[in-house]
Amino acid sequence: MNADSMNANARNVAVLGEPVLTARNVSIEYEVDPPVKAVRGASITLHRGEILGLAGESGCGKTTLAYGLNRLLKAPALMTGGDVVFHDASGDDVDVVALDGEALRRFRWNKVSMVFQGSMNSLNPVMNVRKQLHDVFSTHRPEMRRAEREARSAELLTLVGVDPTRLSSFPHELSGGMRQRVMIAMALALDPQVMIMDEPTTALDVVVQRGIIREIMRLRERLGFAVIFITHDLPLLIEISDRIAIMLDGEIIEQGDAEQIYRAPGHPYTRRLLSSFPSLRGERGDFIRTGVAAGGAA
């Protein structure tokens, strides 16, 4: 991260203040034999417009927590305790754990959307991009007319850096990077206030990854949504996040400003995690400067 973007992030944190999603003491178990306590008393606060990075080694519970926050858990996973509250821009607080039926359906994707690990493979192979985007609107915005759906679909593709002529393409006609951009467009379709991104670029090559991350950063600046960004790539996380939460064995063991976590990690595990990425230390022990946050098209 360069000095300017670091300062911009610091400013964001300073003016953000207001939470958009608060999780307190969330516990999630897989009810198998023996049971797996995948998330244990996790508390996080996501502020309006910020990027909160969630880091930790494989199996520590990041994906399970993300699913819990968006009420996407399926058996044998069960949230055994805790509160999740969404603080809507309208001023209403939504008890996410209590939502069900129609209210839950309306909440998901409208308020909080998710880009899953490997989600580029979850596009329907026999439908073109237009139909898949239009379906989001027919389900969630039935009042939209066809011409509006078409215009919004084209606008969304443009936003994520895909030519709108691709609306007519089928998934197999797109590269992996393009498919992932289409998934991000779908997650953006209903203008959510929070996007949860679980390893959104891991399956892609590094150059394509960087392009997509840059696009996400730009979109966040422009549209103002908050992001929970999950990845194994701690250097990337330090570079793009305003704040970082570190997870170990189902617990959030440390949470703070990205710069603070980088410069003065409080927990021995965080120090170990940081030292496992030698690339994080330049000659002067400064932030790496790859320019992801700084811009330039992919």
Contact set with ligand ATP (CB under 6 A): 30, 32, 36, 38, 56, 58-64, 76
Residues facing 84 on adjacent strands: 23
Order of strands across the sheet that contains 243-248: 112-115, 194-198, 226-230, 51-55, 243-248, 251-257
**Which residue's CB is nearer to ligand ATP, number 54 or number 293?**
54
Least distance (Å) between residue 145 CB and ligand ATP? 40
Q: Which is nearer to ligand ATP, 38 or 183 (CB)?
A: 38
Distance CA 130, CA 29 (A): 38
By beta-carbon proximity to ligand ATP, the closer residue of 32 and 147 is: 32
Torsion over CA: 141, 142, 144, 147 (sign):
positive
CB of 28 to ligand ATP, least distance (A): 8
Q: Rank residues 35 and 282 by Cβ distance to ligand ATP and give the closer one.
A: 35
Q: Which is nearer to ligand ATP, 59 or 268 (CB)?
A: 59
**Tally of CB atoms within 10 A around 266:** 14
Return the HEC string of 174-199: CCHHHHHHHHHHHHHCCCCCEEEEEC
Tokens of residue 53, six digits: 């990075």
Contact predicate 138/132, CB 8 Å: no
Min CB(200)–ligand ATP separation in Å: 13
The nearest distance, CB 169 to ligand ATP, in angstroms, is: 30
Residue 278: cis peptide before it, omega within 30 degrees of 0: no
3-state secondary structure of 149: helix
Cα dihedral 21, 25, 31, 35 in deg (nearest 10): 140
Whichever of 39 and 240 has its CB closer to ligand ATP, that residue is: 39
Q: Which is nearer to ligand ATP, 62 or 214 (CB)?
A: 62
In the complex, the smallest distance separating the C-beta of residue 31 from ligand ATP, rounded to whole angstroms, is: 8
Q: How far is the CB of 59 from ligand ATP (least distance, A)?
A: 4
Nearer CB in complex with ligand ATP: 190/196: 196
Stated as kind and residue range, the H or E segment containing 131 is helix 129-140
Nearest to residue 290, comparing CAs of 170, 207, 202, 166?
207
CB of 75 to ligand ATP, least distance (A): 9
CB 65 to ligand ATP: min, Å: 7
Cis peptide bond prior to 76, omega within 30° of 0: yes
